[in-house]
């Protein structure tokens, strides 16, 4: 499925301000067709978050939204990422995001590498000053690197674009939304991509990414 997507959003199931269905409704009004709700998880809440999101899937359809029930594995020790991603997948997660080594939070060194080497991971969020070696590993495993509009995390968007080109790695543009004012319309999404250094054609391709092909579904 092609169309406007956001693969990284948060609800009240972690630190977001909106119920899942409010988040979905607001994005439907903005013209989205695919929304992933990826609340923060660690070993304590992975299964419960996914089970809660699955209950909203039919409601999302009524608003014309394909809901991807997901998680963002956050501040988990790198040695635990693969096992937690496997648990999330077995619990029914449609998409698995890992909270990358953003420059504005104390994410453990080695998180990017562990995520890029895990075939159950789909997106490495705000990966900071990711190395070419990790980007090549992500490309090998079909893991996308994220360009983000989120303040602070977006400081390294230009670096992420440069490294992704060198590694031939898939990019995605996400909001990392926690509140209504974080949501992006199509023009705002284009501006984030363009501001990160993508050409107009690259912006159009990334923004209209075929999510089914990307996720292999």
Residue 3's pLDDT band (cuts 50, 70, 90): confident
- For residue 85, tell me if it sits in a domain: yes
- For residue 180, tell me if it sits in a domain: yes
Q: Phi and psi of 9, rounded to 5°?
A: -140, 165
CATH of the domain at 187: 3.20.20.140
> CA-based angle 180:182:185, to the nearest 5?
90
* Model pTM score: 0.97
CA distance to 56, 71, 73, 122, 201, per residue, from 125 (Å): 24, 11, 10, 10, 23
pLDDT in tens, 21-66: 999 999 999 999 999 999 999 999 999 999 999 999 999 999 999 9
- For residue 163, tell me if it sits in a domain: yes
How many domains is the chain partitioned into structurally? 1
- For residue 88, tell me if it sits in a domain: yes
- For residue 217, tell me if it sits in a domain: no
């Amino acid at each position: 499925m092609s169309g406007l997507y956001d693969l990284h959003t948060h609800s009240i199931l972690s630190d977001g301000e909106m119920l899942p269905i409010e988040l979905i409704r607001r994005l439907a009004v903005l013209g989205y067709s695919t929304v992933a709700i990826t609340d923060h998880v660690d070993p304590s809440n992975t299964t419960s978050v996914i089970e809660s999101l699955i209950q909203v899937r039919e409601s999302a359809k009524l608003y014309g939204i394909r809901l991807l029930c997901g998680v963002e594995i956050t501040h988990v020790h790198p040695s635990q990422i693969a096992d937690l991603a496997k648990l999330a997948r077995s619990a029914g997660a449609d998409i698995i995001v890992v909270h990358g080594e953003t420059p504005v939070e104390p994410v453990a060194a080695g998180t990017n590498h562990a995520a890029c080497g895990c075939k159950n991971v789909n997106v490495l969020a705000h990966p900071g000053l990711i190395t070419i070696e990790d980007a090549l590993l992500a490309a090998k495993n079909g893991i996308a690197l994220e360009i983000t509009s989120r303040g602070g995390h977006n400081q390294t968007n230009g670096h992420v674009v440069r490294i992704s080109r060198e590694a031939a790695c898939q990019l995605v543009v996400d909001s990392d939304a926690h509140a209504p004012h974080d949501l992006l319309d199509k023009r705002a999404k284009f501006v984030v991509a363009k501001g990160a250094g993508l050409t107009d054609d690259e912006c159009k391709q990334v923004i209209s990414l075929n999510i089914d092909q990307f996720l292999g579904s």
